[in-house]
């Protein structure tokens, strides 16, 4: 939850280090992290392993915090399950006293995602204003973005743009957050924004919480900068092959 702001354990640092090595060849343009200590340390460790952006500023945002669990925070998961059972409910839909509802968590996720979309469009506009459209590097850079999971997705899918009709934005954003929060964010992508999922993804995988430092990759296309209709494709979900 939010109330217990503990640092990473030794295992947590090893996992963050492994994630950093896994993502070491990915050139990020922005990094955002929850402002809780465990996420801050994870983000810093990932960047510390990166070949391109060790000095990139990490921006901390309270909208990326884990779900608030109220009176259940700092207690074993079995206690939360017992509270839910006593209330005639089940996890994760159960909300302990003082905690956040799933709808409240999803609203935070929606607000932050819309902020990211605006950021990407503003970045694109600045690029065009400064250099002109002809000098843009997206898709034609001599130093292409290198994703460690391209075997899950063809290069064409990563760089295609509907015959040139779409503008592919130059933002490649790392977001470091928490398991229950990310499950709600992904649920928002799927149920509200019709995110396209990998064909081999099962329903249980979609509803499960990511393992620590699990990596999910989404491609977001904003047709001609249209913030209202993002086209979202999930390349991989909760991948943990680096652990």
Nearest to 29 by CA among 123, 104, 114, 98: 123
E-strand spans in 131-227? 173-176, 215-222
Q: Which residues are annotated as a binding site?
A: 38, 66-69
**Crossing angle for the helix pair 102-131 and 179-193, nearest 10 degrees?**
70
Return the sign of the alpha-carbon dihedral for residues 160, 29, 173, 113.
Answer: negative
Nearest to 166 by CA among 86, 106, 228, 221: 221
Is 38:13 a contact under the CB 8 Å cutoff? Answer: no
Is 181:65 a contact under the CB 8 Å cutoff? Answer: yes
Helices (H), the chain: 10-22, 37-48, 77-86, 102-131, 155-159, 179-193, 203-207
Q: Which residues are annotated as a binding site for substrate?
A: 38, 66-69
Dihedral in degrees, nearest 10, Cα atoms 171, 112, 21, 16 = 170
Is 232:216 a contact under the CB 8 Å cutoff? Answer: no
Question: Angle at Cα 135 formed by Cα 129 and Cα 232, nearest 5°?
Answer: 80
């Amino acid at each position: 939850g939010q109330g217990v702001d503990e640092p990473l354990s030794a295992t947590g640092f090893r996992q963050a280090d492994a994630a950093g090595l896994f993502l070491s060849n990915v050139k990020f343009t922005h990094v955002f992290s929850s402002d809780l200590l465990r996420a801050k340390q994870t983000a810093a460790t990932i960047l510390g392993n990166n070949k391109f952006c060790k000095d990139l500023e990490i921006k901390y945002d309270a909208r990326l915090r884990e779900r608030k669990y109220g009176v259940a925070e700092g207690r074993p998961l079995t206690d939360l399950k017992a509270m839910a059972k006593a209330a005639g409910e089940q996890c994760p839909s159960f909300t302990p006293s003082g905690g956040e509802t799933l709808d409240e968590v999803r609203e935070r996720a929606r607000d932050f995602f819309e902020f990211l979309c605006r950021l990407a469009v503003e970045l694109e506009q600045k690029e065009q204003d400064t250099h002109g459209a002809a000098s843009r590097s997206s898709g034609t850079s001599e130093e292409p973005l290198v994703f460690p999971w391209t075997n899950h997705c063809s290069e064409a899918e990563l760089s295609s743009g509907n015959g040139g009709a779409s503008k592919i934005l130059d933002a490649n954003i790392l977001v470091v957050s928490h398991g229950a929060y990310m499950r709600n964010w992904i649920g928002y992508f799927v149920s509200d924004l019709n995110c396209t999922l990998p064909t081999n993804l099962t329903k249980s995988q979609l509803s499960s919480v990511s393992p620590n430092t699990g990596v999910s990759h989404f491609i977001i296309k904003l047709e001609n900068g249209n913030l209202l209709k993002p086209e979202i494709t999930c390349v991989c979900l909760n991948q943990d092959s680096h652990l």
